[in-house]
């Protein structure tokens, strides 16, 4: 499945959290509050919608290999790891 958000088309693989209002609010807050020189740690990246905006240095992680693949398919140029807590 694909969704449009802002000026981007986001790929959502089966079994990966589909971005909803909470995701969109998080992106808006980060765009408003975070400086480009800041760092962000996104735990549970899912599709990568929060990390996909070119806003700061981002490290994203997820325990789901499907989510890691999905984030990479969405072109996130960040460190994307899959592992267990």
Residues of the domain holding 15: 2-82
What's the number of CA atoms in the CB half-sphere (13 Å) around residue 2? Answer: 6
Mean pLDDT of 2-16: 92
- Kindly state the greatest CA–CA separation across the chain: 34
For 23, the token pair is: 């995701």
User: The domain that contains 33 carries what CATH number?
Assistant: 3.40.50.150
- Give the global pTM: 0.80
CA distance linking residue 26 with residue 22, whole number of Å: 6
User: Into how many domains does the chain fold?
Assistant: 1
Mean pLDDT of 5-32: 92
Mean pLDDT of 13-36: 91
């Amino acid at each position: 499945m694909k969704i449009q958000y802002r000026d981007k088309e986001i790929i959502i693989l089966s079994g990966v959290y589909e971005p909803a209002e909470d995701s969109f609010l998080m992106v808006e807050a980060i765009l408003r509050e975070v400086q480009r020189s800041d760092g962000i740690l996104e735990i549970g990246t899912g599709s990568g919608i929060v990390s996909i905006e070119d806003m700061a240095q981002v490290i994203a992680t997820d325990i789901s290999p499907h989510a890691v693949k999905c984030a990479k398919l969405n072109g996130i140029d960040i460190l994307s790891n899959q592992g267990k807590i």
